[in-house]
Amino acid sequence: MGQPSGNRNTIELLARLMGAGWTIALSIAGGTGGGFWLDRQFDTSPVLTLVGLAVGIVVAFAGMIRILNAMWNGNPDGSADGPEDGDR
């Protein structure tokens, strides 16, 4: 016998939220790591690390909004885009 649909919906929701968490974590870590690497290359510590952190936070915030909008709108593919003119 299969799982009730309520459990499946809960698991899908948790998977999407975990995806949002990974998007946030990787964006911030990637921006900070890239800024740190650039600081070491150009000897500008900590300027580029802070710039990378800021860029990572902005990218994480934008990604989080996109994922949450897709969840609220019920798009299974994760895109927040609405229907196009040819998709009606």
Tell me the pLDDT tens digit for each residue of 22-37. 999 999 999 999 999 9
The answer to whether residue 9 sits within a structural domain is no
The answer to whether residue 47 sits within a structural domain is yes
The answer to whether residue 28 sits within a structural domain is yes
Q: Tell me which residues of the chain have a pLDDT lower than 50.
A: 88
Nearest CA among 76, 35, 28 for reference residue 56: 28
pLDDT at 51: 98
SS3 assignment, position 1 = coil
Q: Total structural domains in the chain?
A: 1
Domain range for residue 20? 15-74
The answer to whether residue 83 sits within a structural domain is no
Whole-Å CA distances, 86 to 40, 42, 68, 82, 83: 50, 50, 25, 11, 8
The answer to whether residue 44 sits within a structural domain is yes
The answer to whether residue 64 sits within a structural domain is yes
